[in-house]
Amino acid sequence: MTLTKKIVLLPGDGIGPEIVAEAVKVLEAVDAKYKLKLKFEQELIGGAAIDQHGVPLANTTLDKCRAADAVLMGSVGGPKWDTLDSSIRPEKGLLKIRYELGLFANLRPALLYPQLADASSLKRELVAGLDILIVRELTGGIYFGEPRGIRRLDNGERQGYNTYVYSEHEIERIGRVAFDMAMKRDKRVCSVDKANVLEATVLWREVMQSLSADYPEVELSHMYVDNAAMQLVRAPKQFDVIVTGNMFGDILSDTAAMLTGSIGMLPSASLGKDGRGLYEPVHGSAPDIAGQGIANPLATILSAAMMLRYSLGEAEAANAIEAAVGKVLDQGLRSADIYSDGMQRVSTVEMGDAVVAAL
Ligand code: NAD
């Protein structure tokens, strides 16, 4: 007997509702084909939740997310809520859900469909077929370490300070995510640290090294973060999975994202310890194009594919969605953000329909 898989949809603001609607259409199509038994429940987050409930994420919504197998989000924010007090801004809803669901692993694939290689700022031959997965630790490291602050020294000068701290269990759990991901890919993990300078990352390297004994099939390498930044723009295709701490991951994942050229194509996942996760496009709510029907829904559709693969164990259906996206690009269909001469410009809804047809 297949159990129903509960998915909470949080379309959010701006283009969020438009792009999530297309992802749902695609999920319904794979559900019909692969008998996945998906069950959707739609809730509010961000500005839409502020308008309705006075807060960016209601506790009842949070409870539904906790009880679900996965959460698929659009995006939050927009000028309408920019002047609100920072404690109830739309983005707080996103931070709250990440924190409350214990989402410690951020997965950011940098995958460049060969059809879009000219959109990259790097030469086509360096990036065509690029497929990297960056696994970033999301709830620890220097962004959360204590003590932190700005203090006044005895000589009257002010001093800013933060603490780069990682415990073994934090390193091990993010390491396991990376190794598990690598097992489903090309079986190579590159752990990025600064072990020549920072003791916290000496420990990081030691834990990654001992963890690798549990994954004999996976090739583990280590790289200093400065070299990793250089290699990402010199020869990015050398990487399969990159695992790193919060701050290094923040920077490297944005670098890797830009290798692909288009923000409308990039999905992401944030996972907790039981495999449950929050899936969302990397881009924001794009208020400048909201309501015009021209947003690219592919990042959200690809986020839905990640959800099937990582939280619902439906790799075949995930592969089918990714292949369908490739097919649609082969057909020359392009939303406005990835349009180039000679291609066929399509709307948000037409793009979603085309992916469904390609399935
Ligand atoms: P943005 O990503 O929303 O937009 C940047 C540019 O990319 C805009 O020109 C936009 O039109 C374009 N764009 C983005 N997604 C697109 C898509 N799917 N198809 C076509 N074009 C697309 O970033 P921004 O303008 O800096 O932020 C707008 C709002 O989104 C702000 O309120 C910000 O706080 C919020 N935001 C939310 C998230 C999130 O929900 N995770 C992330 C980033 C920004």
Residue nearest to atom 34 of ligand 1 (CA): 77
**Number of domains present in the structure of the chain:** 2
Q: Is the domain of 92 the same as that of 144?
A: no
* Per-residue pLDDT at 301: 98
Among candidate residues 82, 226, 288, 330, the one labeled active-site is 226
CATH number at residue 270: 3.40.718.10
Give the ligand 1 atom nearest the CA of 82.
Answer: 32
Share of the chain above pLDDT 90, in %: 83
Mean pLDDT, residues 180-203 taken together = 96
Among candidate residues 5, 194, 310, 337, the one labeled active-site is 194
Q: Which of 14, 85, 97, 15 is nearest to 54 (CA)?
A: 85
Is pTM beyond 0.75 here?
yes
Helices 225-234 and 246-259, interaxial angle, to 10°?
10
Name the least confident of 93-102, 209-218, 279-288, 329-338: 93-102
Give the ligand 1 atom nearest the CA of 298.
Answer: 18
Instruction: Kindly report, residue by residue over 130-177, the tens digit of the pLDDT.
Output: 999 999 999 899 988 999 999 999 999 999 999 999 999 999 999 999
* pLDDT greater than 70 at residue 1: no
The three-point CA angle 72-313-306 to 5° equals 40
Among candidate residues 34, 143, 164, 224, the one labeled active-site is 143
Ligand 1 in contact with 296 (CB < 6 A)?
yes
Asked, for residue 123, whether it belongs to a domain, the answer is no
Name the least confident of 81-95, 232-246, 275-289, 301-315: 81-95
Three-state DSSP state, 64: helix
DSSP β-bridge partners for residue 161: 149
Q: Which of 94, 136, 95, 108 is nearest to 258 (CA)?
A: 108
Mean pLDDT, residues 31-60 taken together = 97
* Per-residue pLDDT at 10: 98
Asked, for residue 223, whether it belongs to a domain, the answer is yes
Residue nearest to atom 12 of ligand 1 (CA): 286
Is residue 82 annotated as part of the catalytic site, yes or no? Answer: no
Q: Is the domain of 138 the same as that of 242?
A: yes
Asked, for residue 349, whether it belongs to a domain, the answer is yes
pLDDT category, 2, cuts 50, 70, 90?
A: low
Give the ligand 1 atom nearest the CA of 79.
Answer: 32
Tokens of 210: 């001992």
Ligand 1 in contact with 76 (CB < 6 A)?
yes
Q: Is the domain of 224 the same as that of 277?
A: no
Three-state DSSP state, 39: strand
Alpha carbon distance 133, 108 (integer Å): 6
Alpha carbon distance 252, 175 (integer Å): 17
* Per-residue pLDDT at 95: 83
Q: Indicate the residue among 240, 259, 278 that finishes a domain.
A: 259
Is residue 310 annotated as part of the catalytic site, yes or no? Answer: no
Asked, for residue 124, whether it belongs to a domain, the answer is no
Residue nearest to atom 6 of ligand 1 (CA): 286
By residue range, what is the domain housing residue 197? 131-259
How high is the mean pLDDT of the chain? 94
* pLDDT greater than 90 at residue 258: no
* pLDDT greater than 90 at residue 267: yes
Q: Is the domain of 53 the same as that of 142?
A: no
Mean pLDDT, residues 295-319 taken together = 96
Under DSSP, the state recorded for 218 is S
Alpha carbon distance 63, 259 (integer Å): 37
Question: Which 3-state string (H, E, C) describes 104-140?
Answer: CEEEEEEECCHHHHHHCCCCHHHHCCCEEEEEEECCC
* Per-residue pLDDT at 199: 97
Q: Which of 311, 347, 353 is nearest to 23 (CA)?
A: 353
Asked, for residue 193, whether it belongs to a domain, the answer is yes
Mean pLDDT, residues 217-232 taken together = 98
- Helix (H), strand (E) at residue 152: strand 149-152
Tokens of 164: 């780069």
Asked, for residue 356, whether it belongs to a domain, the answer is yes
Ligand 1 in contact with 20 (CB < 6 A)?
no
Instruction: Kindly report, residue by residue over 83-100, the tens digit of the pLDDT.
Output: 998 778 998 898 889 889
Ligand 1 in contact with 264 (CB < 6 A)?
yes
Alpha carbon distance 180, 182 (integer Å): 5
Name the least confident of 166-175, 259-268, 336-345: 259-268
Under DSSP, the state recorded for 80 is G
Of how many residues is the chain composed? 359
pLDDT category, 8, cuts 50, 70, 90?
A: very high
* pLDDT greater than 60 at residue 344: yes
